[in-house]
Structures are given as C-alpha cells and as structure tokens.
C-alpha cells in the first residue's frame, strides 16, 4: 500500500481523524501543508509518482479533507499551487465542495473549477446543519464504492451541498430537504460530501477502496527476488537441488528501484525451508533502497516472525503455511498491523490443485476453494496465487488458477509462477489479476525493464 499524502491547508480541522482512518486501513500517511513539499508532481511520465527525494518515498495518492467555510478555499488553492496532479485525489466534505466553481456560502471566493457547477445552501423543512447519518444512493458504478450497497448510511456534517452541471460527474446522491450530489468524480479527482473517517464500516471500505485505486496506478509487474544463502537464486518448481544463482540481491533491488519500480516481492527461501532467516538482508535492502516497498515472505509462521520482519524494514508480510496450519495467528497479525500489510500466499500443485506448505515440500490437502476461504476468514488484504508446477519453468502462468481465485474473491490478487513476457501479464490482467510477480524473466534481461513498467491495470 501506499504512501497517502493528506493536505493540511490551514483549516481542515479533521486531519488527525482522517490520518488515523487511513493508517487503520493499512496506508502510510504523510501530512503536508503544500504540494511543493512533495517533489515531482508534474512530468512524472504517467507513473503517478509524487516525490522523488531519497528517503522520503513517493506519494501514491492525495487526500484533501475539509471542515469549515468555503472562504478557506483560496488557502487550499494556494496550497495546491499550479502543479499537475497525476495521482488519485480524494476530497472530503469542504474538500469536495472546493472542486466546484463557487459557493453561496462565500460569494466572491472561487473554487478549483475542476467540476462545473456550484455549491448552494440546502433547502426544505430541515434543520441545518445536517449532522448525523444519512443514506447514500449509488447512481453510477465506480471502484470507490466497490462492496458498498446502494442506500448505505454515511455520516454527514453540512449546510451546503454541490450541484454539478453535468450529471455524469455524480456517483452518489442523498436526500436532505432536497436531492444533492454526495459523491462525484472528474478524472483522477473523487469527492465525497460525507465523512468516511467517521462512517464506521462503510467509511473504512471507501477508504480501503481509495487505497486500492492508488495502488492500481503502480506498475502491474512486481519484481521478485528469492534469497538463499545470501544470493539471489531461482529454483525450478521450488526444489532445493535446482538452484541457479543470479547474483547479489541488494544489487538487483537497487537496479529495480532505479528503473522506477516501487514494490518488490522478496522470498526468504532459507526460512521457508526451516533454516536461518535472512532478516539482516531485508534490513540492508530496506536501508539502501528507501523508495522500494518490500513485500517479504518465506518462513513467516508466527506473530513474532511478522513483527521482526516489519522491524527490519518490510512494508508487507506474506503468510503461506500459517494460513493453512494456524490461521488464528494470521488473523492476529491483521488486527495488529492492518489488512493491507498482511497478505496470504496460496501456492498450488497438481492436476486437481492442492495447496503446498513448508517450502512447497508438503501438501496441506486444501483445494483452491478451501484455501481461499481460509485466507478470507483471516482478513488478509490480498492474496498471491501461485502455481508450483509453473514456477521457474518459463512455460507461462496457470491462468485457470487465477480465474478460479477471481471468481471466489474480490480481494487484490497477485499472480505468480511461469511468467515469460509482457503478454503473459496482459492476459493475467484481463482475467482479473491486479499485479503479476515476475522473477526469472527479469533476471534473464531478455525484455527491457521499461516495457514491464509500462504495464498498468486499467
């Protein structure tokens, strides 16, 4: 997940509660007062990268919260500056109203003019301000409201509301004295009149959906490094005796970071096979590659293992064997660290695929259906679906596994095993994968890194 910037332009008022809500959903948060605090807003080449200073990381999305009067919108405009914003932006309450031309609340104060229309005082025999829960009717499908039923309740605090000129911008509507737009969208800008940070379960779903939207802007290809004995290696179908060394893991990680990747998948094969963990290497890569988010897996089978990995610098940990054997431990980690920072790796082998555990050396005798049910019951943020039989073979991924997994779950999915070229990734994305893990195909360098980086999920 992601580094989300929250813009404190001087009078938002609810910065702390918004920041805490995003942290609970698994995002890293950086509060900024001006966008020029985040370098590289324009000219990002479509990567959606805000910020390129070493050690500060990059913003994957921006949140503009707001409580108060439209009179403060000029302060917001100053904080935004004139740089182009290429990442997803979520505007809350006054932040949403600021997207429009102007407001009756403060005549003369200009809005951001991103969506044509105006903000007007609510009419009707109702008490103002509207304070409390109200229904939100979904008018148009959008990923921001995935998993939200129409007429779900959200928390509002407003006397004024937005009335877009173009109904095509309206995602949701709400009735309070009169019908008004309660959620809108224009390109990479989303606006919600309600407060998702105060809206309980439904609000957290919206926040997690926004985080997923931000994540989907990243490259679909995720580089993978398998570490064994301090070396970057590849095994064929996970078998120990098939090791082929490809060099220094740190140098490979630096190479991927320099190319522009933001997320990397690293597997500790020593720990996966029951040996000594490579956490020292994790710490070294995390220190030397500050712009990489490290997804760390292999041998993580306890709460202590996960905590140690996070302490060493992992952004996300991946459980495999523990999902099958001790799902309660996985659930505990989800509660402690957040769902987006705890994923499941479900690795299958055989014509009637069964989940493999303990470094792929044993079968858990779990079908694809049962394994995914277990992972979902743990509350993990997403799943890696892998074919042991295809891994390291260069014969193409097992897309049927992906089809089955996507039919069973709406959680983010990474497909792994057998990826040869960008066409394999395009096929996987078309069937519902969110990301595709690439290992040996990157090691072999038959395809330029830029071609992998250009692949995006629509």
Does 265 participate in catalysis according to the annotation? Answer: no
Task: Name, in order, each residue with C-beta under 8 angstroms of 81's C-beta and a sequence gap of 6 or more.
Answer: 34, 35, 36
- Residues 6 or more apart whose CB falls under 8 angstroms from that of 426 comprise 455
Q: Is 197 an active-site residue? A: yes
DSSP 296-353: EESS--SHHHHHHHHHHT-SEEEESHHHHH-HHHHHHHHHHH-GGGEEEEEEEETTTT
Interacting residues of 391 by C-beta distance below 8 A, sequence separation 6+: 235, 236, 237, 238, 416, 417, 418
* Burial class for 163, CB neighbours closer than 10 Å (0-12, 13-18, 19+): middle
> Which is the catalytic residue, given 105, 172, 195, 215?
195
The answer to whether 209 and 412 have CB atoms below 8 angstroms apart is no
Q: Out of 28, 91, 93, 378, which one is annotated catalytic?
A: 93
Q: Round to whole Å and give the CA distance between 211 and 27.
A: 7
List the beta bridge partners of residue 293: 263
Active site residues: 93, 195, 197
């Amino acid at each position: 997940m992601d580094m989300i910037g929250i813009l404190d332009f001087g009078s938002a008022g609810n910065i702390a509660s918004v920041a805490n809500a995003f942290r609970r959903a698994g995002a890293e948060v950086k509060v900024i007062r001006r966008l020029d605090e985040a370098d590289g807003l324009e000219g990002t080449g479509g990567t959606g990268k805000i910020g390129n200073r070493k050690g500060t990381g990059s913003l994957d999305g921006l949140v503009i919260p707001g409580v108060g009067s439209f009179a403060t919108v000029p302060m917001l405009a100053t904080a935004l500056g004139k740089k182009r914003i290429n990442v997803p932006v979520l505007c809350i309450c006054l932040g949403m109203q600021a997207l429009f031309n102007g407001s009756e609340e403060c005549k003369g104060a200009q809005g951001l003019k991103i969506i044509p229309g105006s903000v007007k005082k609510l009419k009707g025999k109702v008490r103002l301000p509207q304070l409390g829960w109200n229904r939100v009717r979904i008018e148009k499908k959008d990923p921001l409201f995935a998993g939200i039923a129409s007429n779900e309740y959200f928390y509002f605090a407003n006397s004024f509301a937005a009335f877009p000129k173009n109904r095509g911008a309206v995602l949701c509507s709400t009735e309070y004295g009169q019908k008004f737009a309660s959620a809108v969208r224009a390109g990479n800008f989303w606006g919600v009149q309600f407060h998702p940070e105060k809206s309980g379960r439904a609000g957290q779903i919206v926040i997690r959906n926004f985080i997923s939207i931000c994540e989907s802007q990243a490259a679909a290809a995720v580089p993978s490094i398998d570490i064994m004995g301090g070396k970057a290696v590849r095994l064929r179908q996970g078998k120990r005796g098939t090791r082929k060394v490809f060099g220094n893991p740190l140098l490979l990680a630096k190479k991927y970071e320099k190319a522009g990747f933001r997320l990397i998948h690293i597997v500790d094969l020593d720990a996966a096979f029951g040996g000594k963990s490579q956490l020292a290497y994790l710490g070294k890569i995390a220190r030397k590659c500050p712009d990489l988010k490290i997804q760390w897996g292999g041998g993580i089978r306890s709460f202590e293992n996960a905590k140690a990995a996070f302490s060493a610098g992992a952004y996300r940990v991946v459980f495999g064997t523990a999902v099958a054997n001790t799902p309660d431990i996985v659930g505990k980690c989800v509660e402690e660290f957040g769902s987006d920072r705890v994923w499941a790796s479900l690795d299958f082998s055989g014509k009637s695929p069964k989940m493999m555990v303990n470094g792929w050396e044993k079968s858990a005798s779990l079908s694809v259906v049962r394994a995914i049910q277990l992972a979902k019951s743990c509350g993990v943020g997403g799943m890696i679906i892998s074919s042991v039989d295809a891994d390291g073979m260069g014969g193409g991924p097992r897309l049927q596994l992906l089809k089955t997994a996507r039919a069973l779950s709406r959680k983010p999915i990474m497909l792994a095993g057998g990826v040869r070229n960008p066409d394999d990734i395009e096929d996987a994305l078309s069937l519902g994968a969110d990301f595709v893990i690439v290992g040996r195909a990157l090691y072999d360098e038959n395809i330029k890194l830029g071609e992998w980086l250009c692949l995006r999920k629509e």
